[in-house]
Amino acid sequence: MFSKTSSHPSAAITIIILLLAISLSLSFSACKRGGGENGGSGGAGESGSSGGSSDSDPGDGGGAGTDTPGGAGDSADPEALWYYEEERAERYAAFAQIRPDLTMEDVVWMVDCDLDLPPYEDTHEVPDPNSLTLLVNKHFGLPQDYVPADLISVGSAQMRSESAAALNALISDAEGQGLGIWAQSGFRAYGIQQSLYNNYAATDGQAAADTYSARPGFSEHQTGLTVDLNDITDAFGQRPEGIWVKEHAWEYGFIIRYTEENQSITLYVREPWHLRYIGREHAEAMRDLGFTSFEEYWAKYIKHAPSAVG
């Protein structure tokens, strides 16, 4: 880039001095934004889009409370975020250092749901396995003996009653559009998931198996709120049935849990056939907020509530 000025040493020196001055002032403002703790990371606190978050686009209606308090773009003060947890302050700072690509807002919600930890390390058991909005992933698991008490059949699968009713409505409405949707796999007990996972790991190796199969105790299928549709293939996502499901699942309280967009959060490959029931109100809110991962919604609106901050 200096080739043009190399024949004029004084001009080159001027440019170098200018660049130095600019970089000094940039790192100074980064210090201010980061509260001094991550000044060295060069812009960790800068606003802007980042993987998985669409905060700057809260959508309509349901997104009314999104930016409170402090307002969007005010990522300079993470303590003002309603989902900021005082006791995690050190983890926020440490995670911001190693992920300078993230906004502070993203750093905070991700640490809130333990995404700063390696998968399957220091895991927690969910406090209430019967909650319809529980988070089950590679950090939060279910008790080994957990079996929902209200399982009912949907085709050859089993689901908890509320989610089964919602799925039946979805199937019936799709049928009205000439689309055939069926439940291939619903509730799976711990032992079943264990055999599935062990078989995959024996065939493909553990690292590969972890990208598409949950370890026993960490499968959403054990919640009874999850269903795999039709032939469980990636091609399902491109077929009219899969496209219809992607567009309408929220109306019945379902989300597509593993997508291309949230892969870096869930650490699973996309599964256009895997639906998770969270209830209509939450599915609609997630859609309005433009959130791509349930993890983000859970950290901001289930674990914490915006109104909790005065």
The residue of the chain with the least Cβ separation from Zn ion equals 274
Closer to Zn ion by Cβ: residue 99 or 221: 221
Q: Could you tell me the smallest distance in angstroms from the CB atom of residue 223 to Zn ion?
A: 11
3-state secondary structure of 164: helix
- Is the distance from CB of 272 to CB of 246 less than 8 angstroms? yes
The Cα 301–Cα 207 span in angstroms is 32
Q: Does 228 bind Zn ion (CB under 5 A)?
A: yes
Closer to Zn ion by Cβ: residue 55 or 228: 228
- Span interacting with Zn ion, options 30-38, 200-208, 240-248, 269-277, rule CB under 5 A: 269-277
Q: Does 274 bind Zn ion (CB under 5 A)?
A: yes
Q: Print the binding letters for residues 153-182 with Zn ion: x by CB under 5 A, - otherwise.
A: ------------------------------
Q: Could you tell me the smallest distance in angstroms from the CB atom of residue 48 to Zn ion?
A: 34
Q: Which two tokens stand for residue 217?
A: 């105790």
The residues, any chain, with a CB within 8 Å of residue 254's CB and separated by 6 or more, are 163, 166, 167, 170, 275, 276, 277, 278, 283
Closer to Zn ion by Cβ: residue 270 or 274: 274
Q: Could you tell me the smallest distance in angstroms from the CB atom of residue 236 to Zn ion?
A: 12
Q: Which two tokens stand for residue 180?
A: 């055939």
Q: What is the DSSP letter of 167?
A: H
- Span interacting with Zn ion, options 159-167, 206-214, 271-279, 285-293, rule CB under 5 A: 271-279
3-state secondary structure 244-266: HHHHHHHHHCEEECCCCCCHHHH
Q: Could you tell me the smallest distance in angstroms from the CB atom of residue 147 to Zn ion?
A: 17
The Cα 76–Cα 70 span in angstroms is 10
Q: Could you tell me the smallest distance in angstroms from the CB atom of residue 51 to Zn ion?
A: 23
Binding stretches for Zn ion (CB under 5 A): 228, 274
